[in-house]
Structure formats: structure tokens, C-alpha cells
A and B are shown apart, each in its own frame.
Chain A
Amino acid sequence: MAEARARAGARQEPRAGSREESNPLLYCALGLVVPGLGHIALGRRGTGAVFLVSIGLLFVFGIGMEGELFPFEAAAPLTLLAGLAEMGSGAFYVAARMLGLGAGNPEAPTYEYGYAFLIVAGLLNMLVVLDAWDIATGAKESTDDAASAGEAGSAAR
């Protein structure tokens, strides 16, 4: 029992001399700017790639469905929250704003789906950033992608 506790405690400590120890905020910032980049910087390339593709496609399809990037209107709290959620997509959000995309077309049949995709993309990336924080601080057990790939390979065999 005590040994198990000690093992669990040891697992939650950042590994001495590891890059996770350097600065968790850096990985969070990377992940917030480009979805999945924090995980890639932490050495979990496969996981980061999945996040980048999933969140990127959610955002792109959201724009394609004529979803709206909501403005920040203090008078409309729900719109404000939706806008903040969409901002979570980081570089995708900035690029869309710079390109003048995301005006939204409420008359389009896919308008509601579009902004739902955009909001989910942003919120999902916020979860991904928190996950990067957990990995960088040692709060989440970190198994690198190479080990995971090996595990998948052995399971397939």
C-alpha cells in the first residue's frame, strides 16, 4: 500500500532534468497558438498531430458551413462567451479574422452547425492546452508516442 502510494507520488513529480520541468506555461502557450503544438513540443508528436488535424478540420468545416466568428459584445453575454470560446482555436481564429472569413450567414441551412463546429474547436483546444499543462507538470502520467505505438503494435500482434 505504502509502496503504491510512493509510486503514485513519484509519478506526479516532474522528472528531474526533463524538458517537462522547464516551463509548463511555454507548452500551454504553444498549444494555445497552434492546437497540438504543445504536445508536439513535449515529444508526443502523434497525439499533437491528432489534435492539430481534428481541431483544424473542425474549424475549417465550421467556416465552410458559413458559421460565424462572433464579435465581442459586452451587451450580449452569450455572444461574448461564444466569441471567447472560438478564440481558443488560436492561429486558425487569427488567420480567419485576417482573411475576413467567419462573417456567418444566418440564412444558410448549416449556419448553426457551422458556429457549433467553431465553438467546439476552440473549447476542445482549451482542453488540449490543459492536458499539455498536466503532462508538463507531471500531473498526468506521460507515456510517449513511441511507447504507445509499440503498445499498439504488440496489441495488433
Chain B
Amino acid sequence: MSHFAALLLFAALVSPAFACLMREGWAARLRFTAWAFLSFVGFAVGIGWIMYLAGG
């Protein structure tokens, strides 16, 4: 399994659990799941690029 696949898997599994903890109602939970998933992936990829560029 690649690192990126592991990241996607982690984000996909943790996001719905956070959504159920932090939001009431399935519509709000679905929106939060999508937001959390994209945030996990976006921040990881962004930080990865920062480390790559900073590391030369």
C-alpha cells in the first residue's frame, strides 16, 4: 500500500466518526465528513509539498 493510499484510507475512516461526534443530523454529518476528508488530504499534501520544497 502506498503512503498516499494509506492517507486516503485513514481520512476516509476517521472523517465519518468525527462527523458523528461533532454534528447532529445526517445531512450535516455528510457535509462535515466531506470537509474533514478533504482537509485531511489537503493538509497532508500541502505539508508534504512544503517539506519537499524546503528540503530542496
Contact = CB atoms under 8 A, between A and B. Distances in A.
Nearest to A124: B17
B38 interface: no
Contacts, number: 54
Contacts of A55: 17
Given A61-B9, A110-B1, A110-B6, A54 B24 contact: no
A93 interface: no
Given A65-B1, A110-B1, A113-B6, A51 B17 contact: yes
Interface of A: 46-47, 50-51, 54-55, 57-58, 61, 65, 110, 113, 116-117, 120, 124, 127-128, 131, 141, 143, 148-149, 151-152, 155-156
Report the 10 A-B pairs with minimum CB-CB distance, sorted nearest first: A152-B26, A155-B27, A54-B17, A151-B25, A113-B6, A152-B27, A148-B25, A47-B20, A50-B20, A58-B13
Interface of B: 1, 3, 6, 9-10, 13-14, 16-17, 20-21, 24-27, 29-30
